[in-house]
Structure 1
């Protein structure tokens, strides 16, 4: 079984080195799909051993072009601010979710660490494609390519946010098997300032407008929930939910 890791990048020089190095330790190939970064992202990725291709277009286009260029039996959709732990192993299904360990510093790190810690404890409930808080990152290559083909062309060209949710939705139209969960499989670097984090979610909201009136609209609106959580757990997640939800709503509705 061969594994390909696909990493979209845009001015990711700060984290891409550790992402590529980690990916090469577990995969047969690492493909960095760069959106013409103006910093040293491409240089660092190539020096680290990744194969770099550059494409214009959305984040979803980067995922798709990376998948097409890959040769593995499985594709891992990694982000440039993520790297693997020793728990990444033992694939049993064709769709696999990876538990995330939050690393970094500051307020955002604390909030996201709490969110993932609570949500991942209830992982079985949170793998729901419409209402869960966890999205798979590992797919059988042929299954993933077929799912990508079913996403409307106008969205493929423009979707910079929630592309993973839409991909998962399309995959489950084709796949009726189980979704595997590997606990604590990847580290996710979260050290944005609070302002930058909230600005990012505002941009997500603006980009999500593209999904209005489509079958994907319900997926995006309902995925903010965290099924299976107790009232106490939901209260603990109130602050991170508001910090993401308020700027998202402003971008989406204004």
Structure 2
């Protein structure tokens, strides 16, 4: 079985080297789809052994163009600040969710660690297409190609947030078997944002979410804020993170 890793990038020179190097230990190929970075992202990715293509457009476009080039049986939709752990193994289904280990420092790292640790313990509840907080990143390539064809063109070219939910939703409409495998602690995910940059990012997510209004994907704007399976006490512990995300998101969405 061959695995292709697709990584969208934009000015990711600080992390892309480690990401590519890690991916090539497990994958047959690593495809970096770059949105014309102005730093050393392309140079570093090529040096580490990635195939690099530059494409104008959204993160979703980058994902789609990457899978068209890929030759693997499976495609992993990785981010430029993620890398694999030794637990990345044992693939049994066509749709696979990769449990994430949060790494980094600072308040954002601490809050995101709490969120992921809680929700991953309740992973079976959080794999729901509509309101689950765990979204698969690994798909059978042919299934993924068919799913991408179902996404409206106007969203393909513009969507930089919620693209993971849109992909998952369209895959599961086609995937009659419906089984989703969860691999605990399969990837590391860097969370080194300052609190200000983290909130700015969620403001941009809010502005981007407007694209989903009036579509069958609008539900993700509201439902993905939930954490199914958690106790009231656990949800209370997540309130600071929900506020830090929710306030800038609402400003971006409603203003």
TM bucket, shorter chain: over 0.9
Question: 1:103: which partner in 2?
Answer: 103
Contact 1:129 1:219 in 2 (8 A): no
Partner residue of 2:84?
A: 84
Task: Give the corresponding residue for 1:230.
Answer: 231
CA distance in 2, matches of 1:159, 1:129: 18
User: What is the root-mean-square deviation in Å for CA atoms of aligned residues?
Assistant: 0.5
Q: Distance in 1 between matches of 2:184 and 2:242?
A: 23
Displacement of 1:47 after TM fit? 0.2
1:8 is paired with a residue whose SS is strand
Q: Secondary structure at the match of 2:96?
A: strand
Residues in 2 aligned to 1:3 and 1:173: alpha-carbon distance in whole angstroms: 23
Query: Structure 1 residue 220: deviation in Å?
Result: 2.6
Does 1:161 find its partner at 2:164? Answer: no
Q: Distance in 2 between matches of 1:122 and 1:100?
A: 13
Tell me the distance in 1 between the aligned counterparts of 2:208 and 2:221. Answer: 11
Query: CA–CA distance in 1 between the matches of 2:99 and 2:241?
Result: 18
Tell me the residue number matched to 2:8.
8
Q: Cα offset for 1:75?
A: 0.1
| SS of match in other structure, 1:114 | helix
Deviations 1:95-130 (A, max 9, x none): 000000000000000010001000100000000010
> Under a length normalisation based on structure 1, what TM-score does the superposition of the two structures give?
0.99
Task: Measure the CA separation in 1 of the matches of 2:31 and 2:184.
Answer: 24
Q: Aligned-pair distance for 1:182? A: 0.2
- Runs of 5+ in structure 2 lacking a partner? none
Structure 1 position 40, deviation (Å): 0.1
Q: 2-side partners of 1:227 and 1:31: how far apart?
A: 34
In the alignment of these two chains, the number of paired residues is 254
- What is the CA–CA distance in structure 1 between the aligned matches of 2:244 and 2:16, rounded to whole Å? 26
Contact 1:77-1:138 at 8 Å conserved across structures? yes
SS of structure 2 residue aligned to 1:158: coil
TM-score (norm 2): 0.99
Structure 1 residue 150 and structure 2 residue 136: aligned? no
**2:44 equivalent in structure 1:** 44
Shift of 1:176: 2.6
Displaced runs of 4+ in structure 1, greater than 6 A?
A: none
For 2:38 and 2:194, how far apart are their aligned partners in 1? Answer: 22
